[in-house]
Amino acid sequence: MNTDLLQRGKAIKLAVFDVDGVLTDGRLYFLEDGSEFKTFNTLDGQGIKMLMAAGVQTAIISGRKTPVVERRAKNLGIPHLYQGREDKLVVLDELLGQLNLSYEQVAYLGDDLPDLPVIRRVGLGMAVANAAAFVREHAHGITTARGGEGAAREFCELILRAQGHLEAANAAYL
């Protein structure tokens, strides 16, 4: 495990996720009636729940707006959901003001250019394995898993490991 990533992970109080390409595989599915659906990975959902149980706050910031994401956030208990917001750094600034946190206390997982300003600014900015090349070049780290295929779980476990909570989180299920 990269010691720089673990060092950065120690200070994290808020983990923020993009949706399309991070919590999903990035594909957009539209039905004939115009509605859409997305598929989410249960491993990612469990990782997010483990983070929250360890005291790390969570948020979603997505450029797209869809009821499916609202439902998923509610199902997981993610308290901070921002959809239809293209300027993610502006959203993060608002959230940091509400939570009284600094950029160094934030971890962000993204995959494409709208995520890049946040990835470059936060304490732990990561990209999924199949992120755009330019985004991967500027991230602190890259997951081995692809978006929608366990990348968020890997990201969550890195933070838990850095803070000494991963073994306890796993042992809770023994």
Tokens of 17: 């996720």
Pairing assessment for the beta strands 57-62 and 80-83 based on DSSP bridges: parallel
pLDDT of 1 above 80:
no
Where is the binding site for substrate, in residues?
A: 20
- The CATH number assigned to the domain holding 65 equals 3.40.50.1000
- How far apart (Å, rounded) are the C-alpha atoms in residues 2 and 5? 5
- 1-5, 53-57, 66-70, 144-148: which has the minimum mean pLDDT? 1-5
Spatial CA neighbour of 125 closest among 2, 16, 46: 16
More confident: 37 or 130: 130
H helices of the chain, in order, are 3-9, 42-53, 67-76, 88-99, 116-121, 133-138, 151-162, 166-171
Q: What is the pLDDT of residues 80-115, one digit of tens each?
A: 999 999 899 999 999 999 999 999 999 999 999 999
Q: What is the mean pLDDT of residues 135-155?
A: 98
Per DSSP, the chain holds a count of helices (H) and strands (E) of 8, 8
Positive/negative CA dihedral, 37, 27, 142, 116: negative
Angle between helices 42-53 and 151-162 (to 10 degrees): 20
Determine the average pLDDT of the residues in 125-130: 98
Number of domains in the chain: 1
Residue ranges for the binding site for Mg(2+)? 18, 111
Residue 61 in contact with residue 92, Cβ under 8 Å? yes
- Name every residue whose Cβ is closer than 8 Å to that of residue 112 and which is 6 or more positions away in sequence: 18, 21, 131, 132, 135
The range of the structural domain enclosing residue 19 comes to 3-172
Q: What are 12-68's pLDDT values in tens digits?
A: 999 999 999 999 999 888 889 988 889 999 999 999 999 999 999 999 999 999 999
CA distance 154 to 150: 6
